[in-house]
A = this chain, B = another copy of it.
């Protein structure tokens, strides 16, 4: 089978997910080494958690919350990725996710650059990516017209697109962030990266 025949990988994440950020910094290069492309799907973990009765790690018991904050930073160091725990956490990501889907409809490479810039704005520069202004600034730095984006964030089409993506994710079995699907096999968590690599290498184990 030539590389062109290989199905893309799906990658679901919330822009406020630390482990989603860590995997976002590695998933494309790992997939590319095995001739795969990755489809990125920002979703709203709050909606998923409400539907499934889950909660963010840092809203769980104090021991687990304290460990999680420590593990976010240590896992980033382990992977060699810059990380500063955000002063606002978790935070709403619907504006960032809607901007992603609007940009993706025009230029998928631009959408990918926007996604990386948004993750880094939150997890390196500690910016408030919940604010529409911040989302517009991040996009404007990539050459996107602010007013068109502002209009898009309010458009019923883009809102419906995000809702459809979240619904589709839940139907696929996504219950957290990050979640990766390779030829029907699900992987949850940035710590499954070694298993993802082996799966791509061997076609399943």
Contact = CB atoms under 8 A, between A and B. Distances in A.
Interface of A: 52-54, 60-61, 63-64, 66-67, 70-71, 74-75, 77-78, 170, 173-176, 186, 188-189, 191-192, 194-195, 198, 205
B54 A195 contact: no
B194 A192 contact: no
Q: Which 6 A-B pairs have the closest CB atoms?
A: A52-B61, A191-B191, A63-B175, A64-B175, A63-B173, A78-B195
A74 B78 CA distance: 23
Nearest to A186: B67
Nearest to A170: B63
B195 A75 contact: yes
Contacts of A175: 61, 63-64, 67
Count of identical protomers in the assembly:
2
Given A189-B191, A191-B189, A60 B54 contact: yes
A205 B54 contact: no
A61 B70 contact: no
Nearest to A49: B61
B78 A198 contact: yes
B188 A71 contact: yes
Given A191-B191, A194-B194, A176 B74 contact: no
12 contacts: A52-B63, A52-B64, A53-B60, A54-B61, A54-B64, A61-B175, A63-B174, A64-B175, A67-B175, A70-B186, A75-B195, A78-B195
Given A52-B61, A53-B60, A66-B173, 20 more contacts: A52-B60, A52-B64, A53-B61, A54-B61, A63-B170, A63-B173, A63-B175, A64-B175, A64-B176, A67-B175, A67-B188, A70-B186, A71-B192, A74-B195, A74-B205, A75-B195, A78-B198, A78-B205, A191-B191, A194-B194
Contacts of A53: 60-61
